[in-house]
Amino acid sequence: MAKVDDFAPKKFSHVLPGEHVYDGILFFGYSPPDTLNLVKNFEVRSDDVILVTYPKAGTTWMQEILWLLMHNGDFDGAMATPVYMRSPFLEFKDLTLNEVGLDLAKRAASPRVIKTHLPMKRVPKQMHDKKPKVIVFFRNPKDVCVSYFNFYRSSSSFGNFRGSWPEFLAMFNEGHVDHGSWFDFTKSWWPLREQPNFKLVFYEDLKKNPFSVIKQVAEFLDKTNLDDVTISRIAAHCSFDKMKENPMTNHSDVYSINSAVSPLLRKGMVGDWKTVFTVKQNEDFDKLYQEKLGHLRIPFTYELDY
């Protein structure tokens, strides 16, 4: 059982509902210590598909793609149940929504598509033994940060953040956000990209070439039975505009998200960070990135030509 750490002296004024520090990582109350303890011993199946993302890295987008691939393009099934119930969030527990990730995952029939935002050290131990297929989905950190800022503002789960953009950027840079440091998360998963049961996918590549990337993911998942027509239908179904309007993917029914402030699916763009970061903030972030992760030479894309 990991230690639930004592709180460090407060540097930032914002407090997450039920916030706690577990194994050195800040969490909101919807990933409580008892759930995080149970995650470590969660029973993994060899035919599971585990989606690993940092928050606001395009998780819902990839969840829908993976679920459709693993269920052979069952669009009727996808339109019958919200994606967050079809693809459980492993370390999440919301009794109001009746969304308890561990329970949903245990009851789910194979093949399961399970998402987590945890760093490598906190995922189920059986992931290393059962060797399920793992999709690690990365998005450039500047767009992640801007998206997370807007989600913090719109969601009561994060305490309806009312601080400034510079304050949130400082919180993000120091890992003082739910699920902790983006830098630590990214550093923990990057070395596993060459393992045969892992596939690293970049958000920006999927945005630029959805059909090609979805087909590559299908091949990795051994879904070679799916023809190009089905792959094209999945790509169309999972376009940003379609998902934003789809009540099974847009989380419009989730009580904690105030879409008038910022919907869950907001812009889905590459490079939106340029509308928020100042020149100085961008320069400072680039310097911090180089200090923390520059040696890894991760090929992030920060702009696309639209």
Cα 282 from chain centroid? Answer: 23
Residue-wise DSSP of 37-86? HHHHT----TT-EEEEE-TTSSHHHHHHHHHHHHTTS-HHHHTTS-HHHH
Q: State the SS3 of 84-111.
A: HHHCCECCCEECCCCEEHHHHHHHCCCC
Residues classed as catalytic: 117
| Surface-to-core class of residue 21, CB atoms within 10 Å of its CB (0-12 exposed, 13-18 middle, 19+ buried) | middle
The end-to-end CA distance of the chain, in Å, is 48
CA–CA separation, 147 and 99 (whole Å): 23
Cis peptide, bond prior to residue 119, ω within 30 of zero = no
Q: Which amino acid is at 221?
A: L
Using CA atoms, how far apart are residues 163 and 160, in angstroms rounded to an integer? 9
3-state secondary structure 227-274: CHHHHHHHHHHCCHHHHHHCCCCCCCCCCCECCCCCCCCCCCCCCHHH
Instruction: Judge whether 121 and 23 are in contact, CB under 8 Å.
Output: yes
The answer to whether residues 38 and 102 touch, using CB atoms and an 8 Å cutoff, is: yes
Angle at 101 between CA 99 and CA 42, to 5 degrees: 160
239's tokens: 């376009």
